[in-house]
Structures are given as structure tokens and as C-alpha cells.
Amino acid sequence: MFPSKEAFMLLLNYSHPLTPAQLAQIETLLGQSIERVITIPSQIDAQQPLAPQVSQLAEAANLTPQEWQTAPLLLNPPALNFSAALLLAELHGRMGYFPPIVRLRPIPGSLPPQFEVAEVLNLQTVRESARKKR
């Protein structure tokens, strides 16, 4: 569970649309409601520099500088690893910390393929723990 002064979360979804069941799983894991889901297409042009495109992905959330720093944000990152890595760096710069992220996993034997929420990863806690290993 992720402590927050707020009773809700704002989910930035840069991946496939989330189902009502997946959203319910996230709320159960967090112990908080998701107030709003902002879905942002994360398609990039592989022939163009990536950093400016990822900066535009962050801009597409339409959050103010104050919201970036104070809103309780949760991230469903893009599936493309390079985009996800750059987006995390971009958001850390805007937020001042790493946002928690959603990890999905395939449901074994499901046809067509379906995904469930595996966990919510607290990246800031991972970072702080890793700093102790310097």
C-alpha cells in the first residue's frame, strides 16, 4: 500500500486501455480510489529523436506544474522499454520523485490473451533502498 494524504489516485495510462476489473485490482492493491484515468497514446516515430517525443507524452497529460508536484499520481508506463525509461526520467524531473507504476502480467491459458494486475511497484522506495548499497 502507498501512503497518501489523498483518498484517490490519478492514473496516467500510457499503455493499452485498462479494463474495469484491472482498475478494481489496482484500487484494491492501493487501498485507494482512482479518481481519474488519463489515457495517452504512446506511439512514437522510431525515425525521430525519442526524448522530445517523450517530453510531448508528458505534456499530453495536461497537468500543471503544481499538479505534477502535488497530485497523487500512478503510472501505467508505455510498453516500449526506451519510451518507458525516458518517461520515468521526464516524470521524475517534473515530480521530484519516481511515481509508482502498474505491472500487468498475462493470465495463464486465457484465450484471447488477457492480463491482470500483478503488482504496483513503488519505484521511489526501490531507489531509496538502492542508495543504501552505494
Helix-then-strand count for the chain, H and E: 5, 5
Q: Look at the block and give the residue holding cell 508505455.
A: 78
pTM, two decimal places: 0.90
H-run or E-run covering 29: helix 20-30
Residue 18 is predicted with a pLDDT of 97
pLDDT at 17: 95
What is the predicted pLDDT for the residue at 3?
44
Mean per-residue pLDDT pooled into runs of 10, the chain (134 residues)? 61 97 96 96 96 98 97 96 97 97 96 95 95 93
Question: Any idea which residue has 519505484 for its cell?
Answer: 123
Chain Cα centroid distance, residue 106: 18
Which domains are present in the chain?
8-131 (3.40.50)
For position 7, what pLDDT does the model report? 61
Q: Is the dihedral of CA 64, 68, 71, 72 positive or negative?
A: positive
- 3 three-state secondary structure: coil
Residue 2 has what pLDDT? 47
Q: What is the CA radius of gyration of the chain?
A: 15
- Distance, CA of 129 to CA of 134 (rounded, Å): 10
Alpha carbon distance, N-terminus to C-terminus of the chain: 27
Phi, psi of 34 (to 5 degrees): -95, 115
pLDDT at position 8: 80
